[in-house]
Structure 1
Amino acid sequence: MQIPRQQMSSREIVETTLKKHNCENSTLILGISGGSDSMYMLKILSEIAPKLNLKLIVAHVNHMLRGNESDTDEKFVKMACNSLKIKCESAKINIKKFQKSEKLNLESAARTKRYEFLRKIKGKYKAKFILLAHNATDNTETVLLNLIRGTSIRGLSGISELNGDILRPLLPFSKKEIEKYCKKENIKFRIDKTNFDIKLKRNFIRHKLIPQIEKLNPNFTQTTLKKSQYFKQAHEFLSNLAENWINSNCKIEKHRINCDSKILASESDFLKKLIIENIYEKFNGSTLDLESTHIDELLKVINKNVGNKEKQIGTRIGIKKISGKAIFYKTASSKPS
């Protein structure tokens, strides 16, 4: 019989998550920024590690975005790891330089290089999972941000507990709960001042929008977490429909997918949007930067009953109709002539 969450300690909840994903006797990479969420994860994992025979490796990325504060964050994480006798791997990465060269927004650039480093460390130590400290409040922010951008069902599914090699053991907890635990257990952490800049959309949602919604529903964060899990199941069902269609009707190459333009155009717009999402994810690994306007632009090309029509969304996805084919492509080198 499953014990209700209310009757379990935070440590028991995290331990249950790790056991559910068969983490015993394995190596885990912990993505630690130095903030309250990740420092709480570091503390609780260090306590659970002996019981589950876990080897913990901390990975920290200095994004070089906040000058001396970024360097101080890195030193802080290294000192914390030293006191816990946990190996720490860190890297300084010039995110602004990468952002400029790849023409990405700052958040996407930082995420891309951070995950690249985390997976490098995972490979080095042959780890089972990378653990990140996203929580239920992060999930609520993500769902609302996606909704405001104009999302699909995928966006309403929020943040997954397990996504490939990424495991998020703190997802059941709200930010308030984590900060309460940190205060109670005297866990020191760093504060990123940019998290309070409400000119940034996520920060506006966090500091202005969610507090107002919680006046109507004090349990909004947990409600959103449960509903996002429902939308995740719905998305998985619909994604399988799109995947089956692509496998049955398209020729799949590394950075090109060729479809019969008439057969594709004859499908419902809803299914076509699912197909576009699925192909975008095949090309880019996720749909984080795919917006509804992008889907609509590609859909217009599919639905126009003429050839030699084309639309490209940056370097991430393009479509060209030629010789009865609707050809999706990712990069200039894979673009049909």
Structure 2
Amino acid sequence: MLQKFKQHITKEFPFLKDTKLLLAISGGVDSVVLFHLLHKLNYDVSLAHCNFKLRGKESDLDEEFIKNLNQISSNQIFTISFDTEKYAKEHKLSTQIAARELRYNWLQKLITEHKFDYVLTAHHADDNLETFLIHLTRGSGLDGFTGIPKVNGNIVRPLLAFSREEILNYAKDYDLEWREDASNASNKYIRNKIRHQVLPVLKEINPSILDSFATTLENLQESKQIIEDSIENIASEVLEKEANFIKIDIEKIKELSNSKAYLYQLLKTYHFTEWNDVYDLLNAQSGKQVFSKTHRLLKDRNVLILSKIDLSNSIEMAFQIEEEITEITNPIHLTFEEVFEKSTENKQTIYVDKDLLKYPLILRKWEKGDYIYPLGMQGKKKLSKYFKDEKFSLIDKENTWLLCNAENQIMWIVNHRQDRRFVKNNNLKISVLS
């Protein structure tokens, strides 16, 4: 296996040579073998071990075992302990998901702090097939059936081409020691049920199932690439990217052969889970919206608007500007300058009579009932009517700032329209800078 691994890592992962590597090691046979292989081939590899405190004394013995690996390597060893059950409860996660999240967050922290180039994990071919079958039992799109990625950002998995049997045989050939996790023998978890009850039957039916599965994965990955290429072409037709959001043309989506499938492909990276609700937005009334944990999808007339959730916008915000202030940069960039005459004429600048102002000025978002006396027009106008006439989208309205005086009278719909009540001597220039 050593020679096969050498050829494999040279061909598939040439970028690992002469880099600083961090190996996530549990103490089980898979990670111990990967460490031994890398050490034999003189890779610069340090070790990182998580003690999840889930198996009492056994977890502590695993940690002690890892620390003793220093006998064959002078490389650095990092260890950490987690109260995994507490974390899982606080974040409403399963124990397994909590452990995975804690582990990868910590590994990324080590990469940053110690300037490692890559993290290596010991996932192998059997793990890949088990994961495929788990997704099959739960229902999945194509992404769930294309296998564990060999490279995912700075995470590299060089053992995916090797079976559990090959790894065990290597460990025995070199008289390696490793730690057995007793929980791996239990059928409490779905992965263990598949490992102990399903895979043996599949291997009996087809002793070469791992090779067959590798061929299947390759075919699925090629199909996935074709889909991604197609989606990229479709995206250029139906998506319009703005500074802070993305517009999706509803009519163009509906013209596609399977609008639901295309909508899923376009939005799958934004963590939506209620896909029927997402699809229903195509025929919903304006104002309907669906949320993921990171994004909002909003129906606005003939488009869907995708925007990142800004938690700060869920809090009522008003910023005060004192008379002596000449510039602010938050939440937007405004400058205040006393002048003798008007010069610049555009929507980014207004001129007001400073003597008519009452301080502090207030910068805020619009509220129901707001109105303005538009410069150049007669009478007053509700902002809701102004927004409608100017064809503001819901996102536009949410992103618009109002500059008001101390009595909360609107002086300026910033970047759009000025109120005429504060215009006389025009001795204060107010500008918004991008």
Cα 1:316–1:104 shift into 2, 3 Å = farther
Per-residue displacement from partner, 1:211-264 (whole Å, max 9, x unpaired)?
A: 111221111122112211221222122123324434553355799544233333
1:71-220 maps to which residues of 2 (within 5 A)? 71-220=60-209
In percent, how many aligned pairs have the same letter? 27
Report the Cα distance in structure 1 between the residues aligned to 2:84 and 2:36, rounded to whole angstroms.
28
Report the Cα distance in structure 2 between the residues aligned to 1:117 and 1:17, rounded to whole angstroms.
28
**Match in the other structure for 1:297:** 276
> What amino acid maps onto 1:29 in structure 2?
L
Report the Cα distance in structure 1 between the residues aligned to 2:190 and 2:242, rounded to whole angstroms.
37
Bigger drift between 223-232 and 240-249 goes to 240-249
2:2 paired with 1:24: no
What is the CA-CA distance between 1:79 and the residue it aligns to? 1.0
What is the CA-CA distance between 1:303 and the residue it aligns to? 4.3
Per-residue displacement from partner, 1:82-139 (whole Å, max 9, x unpaired)?
A: 4322211112122333323333333322222211111222223323321110000001
- Please give the root-mean-square deviation of Cα atoms over the aligned residues, in Å: 2.7
The answer (yes or no) to whether the contact 2:278–2:290 under 8 Å persists in 1 is no
Report the Cα distance in structure 2 between the residues aligned to 1:92 and 1:211, rounded to whole angstroms.
35
The answer (yes or no) to whether the contact 2:264–2:275 under 8 Å persists in 1 is no
**Match in the other structure for 1:6:** none
SS of the residue aligned with 1:124? Answer: helix
Report the Cα distance in structure 2 between the residues aligned to 1:255 and 1:201, rounded to whole angstroms.
41
Cα 1:248–1:61 shift into 2, 3 Å = farther
**Match in the other structure for 1:321:** 299
What is the CA-CA distance between 1:55 and the residue it aligns to? 1.5
> What amino acid maps onto 1:96 in structure 2?
E
Give the greater-gyration-radius structure (CA): 2
Per-residue displacement from partner, 1:24-65 (whole Å, max 9, x unpaired)?
A: 21111111011110011011111011xxxx321111112222
The answer (yes or no) to whether the contact 1:27–1:125 under 8 Å persists in 2 is no
Report the Cα distance in structure 2 between the residues aligned to 1:113 and 1:119, rounded to whole angstroms.
10
SS of the residue aligned with 2:197? Answer: helix
Report the Cα distance in structure 2 between the residues aligned to 1:265 and 1:99, rounded to whole angstroms.
41
**Match in the other structure for 2:318:** none
> What amino acid maps onto 1:301 in structure 2?
D
> What amino acid maps onto 1:11 in structure 2?
L
Per-residue displacement from partner, 1:131-190 (whole Å, max 9, x unpaired)?
A: 110000001001111112111222111112222212111111111221122122211111
- Which consecutive residues of structure 1, in runs of 5 or more, have no partner in the other structure? 1-9, 285-289
Report the Cα distance in structure 1 between the residues aligned to 2:237 and 2:83, rounded to whole angstroms.
43
The answer (yes or no) to whether the contact 1:265–1:302 under 8 Å persists in 2 is no
The answer (yes or no) to whether the contact 2:263–2:279 under 8 Å persists in 1 is no
The answer (yes or no) to whether the contact 1:136–1:222 under 8 Å persists in 2 is no
SS of the residue aligned with 1:327? Answer: strand
**Match in the other structure for 1:36:** 29
The answer (yes or no) to whether the contact 2:260–2:279 under 8 Å persists in 1 is no
SS of the residue aligned with 2:72? Answer: helix
The answer (yes or no) to whether the contact 1:273–1:299 under 8 Å persists in 2 is no
2:288 paired with 1:309: yes
Task: Compare the two structures and name the one with the higher helix fraction.
Answer: 1
SS of the residue aligned with 1:84? Answer: coil
**Match in the other structure for 1:287:** none
2:267 paired with 1:279: yes
Cα 1:35–1:298 shift into 2, 3 Å = farther
Cα 1:126–1:312 shift into 2, 3 Å = same
What is the CA-CA distance between 1:200 and the residue it aligns to? 1.4
Bigger drift between 240-249 and 194-203 goes to 240-249
